[in-house]
Each structure stands twice: as structure tokens, then as C-alpha cells.
Chain A
């Protein structure tokens, strides 16, 4: 049984957040690593397990709530976000997390995805993006790359994939970050940022499915390619990447370009300085994910917090309206039943 009743919060560890159920994901699945980092992150939040709820839809990653020693709902396909929104609206005091996948959030739950982001309830949404349907055994998903051969695309995928970052920022999301399943320490820092952000925090995790879409993210995650193909974003810092930290990004108008810091006469002052509250820059950064490493148009994939905006949450706005309506006292049952249009028959 979970030792969730330990009273003193500071002594909580990752183990305190593990339920008694054995994870049933395939060996080598990226979900194991993400689960571990979530469990590592939660003790840092200072929130008791009974005040945390994990909500999910359907898919491999949506099994996650069963492995947490918190409250949890394993819902129906695509609907984790409205369930979480309803829960958070009814109970703003709770820390509400959503585990969802590329099929769950972006295909069957696409409508909820965009509307949740624009409303901005304070949810922490972990988007396990493995670019494949795993639970149903290997069909292509809305994020599968063009040309990917799967059981339902034997001649290659012809559906143009979603770019989750652009979709989220376009939908009015207030927080978007990207991380890898394999980079545990960094993932943990991003999960912490997401938890601290008040509003809907969307974390896209590049998650490897070793069975149906193995190596989908190797170009970004493999140690020998990672440095050239990714760029780690740091607030207020210039965008620099490369094995030798000798490449930078510069904005020519709205057009981002890579500059070789060894060859060109540029100082770091000329480079793009990351500002996660700048939606225009975030929108451009988001579009980096449109091109793959084999393309001439490729730009290093941004990792970290692309965008973070301080905006009122849905539940706070609603709570304010209710407080306002109750300024002169809450309504009573007798007042409710009498209404304001009653009349007396003498």
C-alpha cells in the first residue's frame, strides 16, 4: 500500500508517490522514465498526495494514474482534459495533472486540447508524444512523420502531421515546453516549471516507443547527434548550440538563421536572446519543429520552455465572479425557492 499518510511533507520521496500496481508498459518504453521523473518531481512541490489528482484518457501513457499513489481517473479516449477542467473548476485547491498521448490529445481529443489551452485552467498536461499509436499496435498518429510506414500506412503516411507547439501557441496556450524521456534531470526541471506555472502547462515529451516506432527521436536524443540537432533554451540567454557551442541563431526580420560563431563576425549580442514571454518569438521557435534533420530547412529543435505567459486561470476568473455575486452574502435556499418574481394571493 502507498505510504500516503506520512504527515510531514518534507520527508516524502518518490516512493511515496508509487502505487502498489506494477507498471505494465513494454520493457524499454519511454513511459517508465517519465513516470520516474514525475515521481521524483512531486516531493519537491510540497503538496500532499491526497491533494493531487492524475487524470488520463486512453492509450499507453494514459495508464499512468494507476501507478501513482495519488487520486486518479483513467477516463475515456480523448477526454482527459475536460475531465481535468471540470475537476479543477470544482476543486481549485487540488493539484491536477493530465497524462495524455499524441493520439489521445491531438486526434480524438483535439477539440478539447485547443479549448482547454485557451481557457487556461491550472493543469499540468504531460503530452507523451511517441508519434505512433502504441496500445492499438502501431497505427500512425497525428504526429507521425510524412512517409512513415505503419500497418495503416503501408505505403507511407500522407497526412501532414501536427506541430504540437504551434498548435498549442496558436490555440492560446499559456505555457509550452519540450523535453525528452531520456534526459531525466532536464525533464524533472521542466516538470517542476510546469507545476509552478499557474495556468495550463503543456509539456511535450519526445517519448520513444521501442516496439512500434523505435528511434523516432534518435536524431535529437542520441549523444552524438543531440548537440547539433537541438538547442536548449534558457531565459535571457542567446540561442547557442552545437557540440562546441559554436553555432548561434539570429533573427533576420522574422526569419531565423544559423550563424557559425567561429567563422562569422558576430557577438552573442547579435544573437537571438530567448524570451519565453514573447509570443512572436515563441511562435517562430514553435515552427522549428516543422522540418526534420534530413531537410535543408532544418533548424535545431528547441528544448525547454518555449513560451510562458502569466494569464488568469479559468477557475480563478470563475471564483472571482462568484465572490463578486456573493459580496452581499451567499443566497439562501429559501431565497432560491422564492425567486424574484413571486406574488401573493390574499
Chain B
């Protein structure tokens, strides 16, 4: 077999800055693996990259139907890409249901590579096309560039001597289509070949067949003239040299908790109950035993957080992770953590609500719950991650605040960040902020009595962990007498303690960075104020708006409670503030309430993240109104 690097025919290669690709097929078609392989190949080559998987919430939806469609979207480029792409440029449709489910999001003029065996009579019927209608043949796709490829037939032909069963051969179809894509985008097959050889090291026949299928796909592009009218594309890699890894938000959060434990010298304990889309944090941490991580899969969400409270009392860096319904169940225990004033990290991977809602779809609708979702006066810090990689830094910061300020902290991510991935330049341990636990030293009999609720100048109490001599103390949910921590029902004491707890949280503003402008002028017409996973879409849209000459800036909040001290000043530097949110306008309420300004809300509550086109359209409308 010839080298896939050599192109036998002279084909026009067009250079592009970025491309968004969707791999879509039936759940059983291996689209997640195919997309992941493509992502690895472009990442290793040095491209900027952002990926997002989209799979059905049912484990096994009926094959061939719309509800069974599984997708993997990615955007890669020469310059930074912050989203998987508002719309895709290329769609791989392994069957007719995949085409039907995703056609609306394909750019006009975009490329469709269709596996024709997925468009037979049976598949068309399952996808809900009327009898006799085949979109590949009826001219309905005339706005797109359609490339029907008989993938099944070609894969069977290529692997006829492989010694595999026809069922096994058909399972290599995804590798054939991957090879076609590698050819089309001028990418090497080597990293996938290596992966296949490693994955099937104990099944050499399968390894060989899959490798053969990738190469057959590549040569198919090379040797047929099916793509003659468009040629090949090249997206030159631009990433600076260095060591990188690709992480999803959930992976990044798990690494961050472990890193925070290592850095602070504490042991990590995670009490958790499986819930979509937060479970991978538990799964990832369960594999971190080499770093001494203790995970506890509890019997329910309440036991998840309560076990962590117990561990925190014992001196562990304690965390719990969940999604909306689970956070609702944890609220009483969160109040306990607030009054006990112990460190605790709560990661809430938000999903569509209320109730079971849209378990596999992202939303930003737990902001109010994070801010206010406890009985009594129970303020706590709330911070939010803005990208998969930022899930590392934000979770790490949550741990720092929790330990150094002796408080539970809610760290908000969402289902989009949780599952999306992007390259991350491997971080050096020295670059991570110090985390200094406020452990109280042992007390000798002649020392003054230990006062569990004595505070420092930041109103933070010390952490006296069992095993430390002379610090024996009893704390819990009943109101505490100031300093001694003894039970107290005194009216003035309760008011004092309420104010002290609030002041402790407010003073965290002294130890967090000032808010910066991510992009655009320091003063101007419009500020797009975002938080959470909308970062990529806002960033891209504001880039484009600035290119158009609009006076638009972007600020993205990590710290939602307390806000950075200069936020009010920043908000005053623009004629108008718009707040895009995947909810019904929660941050708008909080900003209005805090700063007495009237921001414009821009809500999207569809269980889908924002895309840059929507944000740019809103910016354009608002700029026109301001003129």
C-alpha cells in the first residue's frame, strides 16, 4: 500500500482559516469515536480546536430513527476557535435520519458526505421520509454540495480478504469515512493508525481491518474524482510549540480538585451521586487513586454532600458534584456547611430544568438557586467556568476560596462545558496559586481556651481538625454563640452572626481579581456581559462586531458572588449593557438589583448553547437602536 502522504493526482488545495465538521450517524455507527479521532489528529497537528458531542438521552434509541442520531461536532482552525461552530461547513451523514436531524444547522453551500447505504428504503422510512422520497435524489439538497458515497460497499470490497465477518466489516465503515475526511482536509492518518493498533492490540485482525478501512477511505478520495469540483482543503496549524492535552470540562474539573488537594497538602474527598451531566467528574476522580483521591459513591445526593461535610470536618479538601435536581436535594446540607463554616466545593453541572427537565442539554438556569437556594440567610460564594479548560481554573479557584475563606463554594459549569473539549497547554505546578489551609495548631493546657468561631481580619475562622490536641469542640446546625461556638438562641447574637457570615463572604471580593474587559474598548456603546459557557459564542461574536466597526466590548464574569469590586464602574462605561444567558434572565435580575441599572436581557432557553450568529445579530440590533 502506498504512503498516504503522497498524493498521486494533482488536486487543487484551498487554504481555509477554520472549518466546522459534524459527524452524524446512528448511535451504533461509532460517531463519537470517529469524531474524537478526527479531533485528536487535528489537535496533535497543532490546530486550534473545540469539540462538542451530541448524543441521544436514551441509551439505545431505535436504530435508524431521528431519536437515535448521535453527533460529534468540532471546529478546528488556524486561529483560536471558541465554539464548535454556530453552523457546520461539512456534515457526515451515515444515514438519512442523521441528515434530517441536522440539515438546518448546515451552512448554505456546505458539504454533505452521505453514506448511501443509510439512505435505503428501510432507513428512509425510519427517518420519516415519505415513501419514494430520497433527499439524495430528489433535488431537495440543491443548496448544498452533496457527495453520496457507497461506504458499505466500498468498505466490504476493501476488507473482503480481512477474515472478518460481514458484520465486523460493516463496523469499519466509520473508519472508511474518517479516511475520506483525512484526505479532504489534507490530514495524516498516522495518529489514527497508531490508536487502532493500540486499541486492538489483542485482536490483530480487527486492527488490520480498521487501518485498512481508514487508508481505503483516504485512497478513495485520492483516486476517484468525486471531489474534483471542490478539491482539497488545508487548515494550516498555528499553535505554538509546547506540550498540550485535550480536556473536557468534566475532566478539567476533576483534575483541578486533585491539583488543589496536592497544592494545599490536603487529601481530596468527593462524596457524589451519579447524575447527568456531572457523573464524569466522579468517574474521573475514581481513577485518581494514585494521587490518594477518595471517592464515595453515596446512596443519594444528600449523602453525597453530607459525607463531604463529614470529611471536611475531618480536614479533607471535600467536594461534591451534581446537576440541578441534585443541588436542590443538597440545599439543606449546604446551609449546614454555611453555618459550620467549613470548606466545601460544590460543582453544579447545570442542565435544562425544572425537575428532570432536559437531562442531557445545557442551561444556565441554576444561578438563582446557587445564589439564593437555601433557607435562612445563607450567603456563599458562587463562581462560574467559561470554557472546558476554564473548568480547571475555576474549580481550582473554588477550592482555594473554600479552604482559605472557610466556606462552601458553588462552582457552576454546564452540560455544554462538561462534554466539550479543547486543547490545553499543560500547566506547570508552579503556576498554580498557593492554597493555604487555616489549620489551627494544637493547644497546650496553659494556652487560652480554643474559640472555634474567633475570626481573623477577613472574618474567617480557623479550621480545627480532630486529632489536634486541645481543640476539641462541637459545632453544628444550631446557631452559634460568637467566638465560643456554643449553642445560643440569644436574639442579638443571631443577628450578629448573620451579619458576620455575610461579611465574610462579601470580603472575599478583596482577594479576587478585578473584572477585566476580555475584548473591545474600555468605554463605548455596548458591553456584552456574559457568564459561564456563553464565553466562546460571545467572544466570537464580539470579535466580528468589532471588525464591523461597532463600539462593542465583552466582559465575562467568573465571580458571581461576590462580584469583582470594579464591576459597577465597568458597567457605567457603556451606553448599554446586554446580558446573554441560557435562562430567562437571572443575571439580569441580579445586576439590576445590585447596581440599579437597566441591562438588556437576551435569553435563550432551548437546551442549546448560544451560537455566535445569534449574539452578533443581537449586538447588531442593539447598536442600531443606540445610533
**Chain A: residues with CB nearer than 8 A to chain B?**
1-5, 19, 21, 48-56, 58, 65-66, 68-76, 79, 81-91, 93-94, 111-112, 115, 318, 321-322, 324-326, 330-334, 336-339, 341-346
The CA of A1 and the CA of B240, in the complex, are separated in Å by: 63
Instruction: Tell me if A21 and B467 are in contact (CB < 8 A).
Output: no
* Majority secondary structure, A binding face: mixed
Cβ contact within 8 Å between A343 and B244: yes
B310 to A345, Cβ gap below 8 A?
Answer: no
> For residue A87, which residues in chain B have a CB less than 8 angstroms away from its CB?
310-311, 313-314, 466
* Interface pair A336/B255, CB less than 8 Å apart: yes
Report the separation of the CA atoms of residues A91 and B318 in the bound assembly, to the nearest whole angstrom: 12
Across the interface, do B300 and A111 meet the contact criterion of CB distance under 8 Å? yes
A–B complex contacts, Cβ < 8 Å, 8 sampled: A5-B444, A86-B307, A89-B269, A89-B296, A318-B294, A326-B292, A338-B243, A345-B44
Residue contact A51 to B467, C-beta cutoff 8 Å: yes
Report the separation of the CA atoms of residues A126 and B72 in the bound assembly, to the nearest whole angstrom: 53
The answer to whether B443 and A5 have CB atoms under 8 Å apart is yes
B residues lining the A interface (CB < 8 Å): 43-44, 46, 237, 239-247, 255, 258-259, 262-263, 267, 269, 271, 288-292, 294, 296, 298-300, 302-304, 306-311, 313-316, 318, 332-333, 335-336, 340, 426-429, 432, 443-445, 449, 466-478, 486-487
Residue ID in chain B nearest A58 by CB atoms: B477
Residues of A within 8 A of B296 (CB): 85-86, 89
List of A residues within 8 angstroms of B308 by Cβ: 86
A345 to B43 CA separation, bound complex (whole angstroms): 9
Closest to A94 in B: B466
Contact check, A82 vs B306: say whether CB atoms are below 8 A apart: yes
> CA A68 – CA B476 in complex, angstroms?
14
**CB <8 Å contact, B309 and A83:** yes
Q: Which residues of A contact B470 (CB under 8 A)?
A: 4-5, 50
A75 touches B255 (CB 8 A): no
Residues of A within 8 A of B432 (CB): 333
Smallest CB–CB gap between A92 and chain B, Å?
10
The CA of A4 and the CA of B450, in the complex, are separated in Å by 12
The contact of B466 among A53, A322, A342, by CB within 8 Å, is A53
A81 to B300, CA, bound (A): 13
Q: Which of A21, A70, A74, A94 has the most CB of B within 10 A?
A: A74
Least CB distance, A331 to chain B, in whole angstroms: 4
A63 to chain B, nearest CB (A): 9
Q: Does A83 lie within 8 Å of B299, measured CB to CB?
A: no
Smallest CB–CB gap between B80 and chain A, Å? 14
Which one of B313, B466, B476 lies within 8 Å of A51 (CB-CB)?
B466
Structural contact, A90 and B267, CB atoms closer than 8 A: yes
Which chain A residues lie closer than 8 Å to B267 at the CB level?
A: 90
Contacts of B472 in A (CB 8 A): 2, 4, 49-50, 69-71
Q: Is the CB of B474 within 8 A of A337?
A: no
Q: Name the residue on B nearest A54 (C-beta).
A: B474
Contact check, A72 vs B241: say whether CB atoms are below 8 A apart.
Answer: no
Residues on B with beta carbons closer than 8 Å to the beta carbon of A53: 313-314, 466
Contact, CB under 8 Å: B473 / A345: no
Query: With A333-B259, A337-B255, A345-B242 as given contacts, are A90 and B311 in contact (CB-CB < 8 Å)?
Result: yes
Query: Known contacts A5-B470, A341-B245, A345-B239; is A86 also within 8 Å of B259 by CB?
Result: no
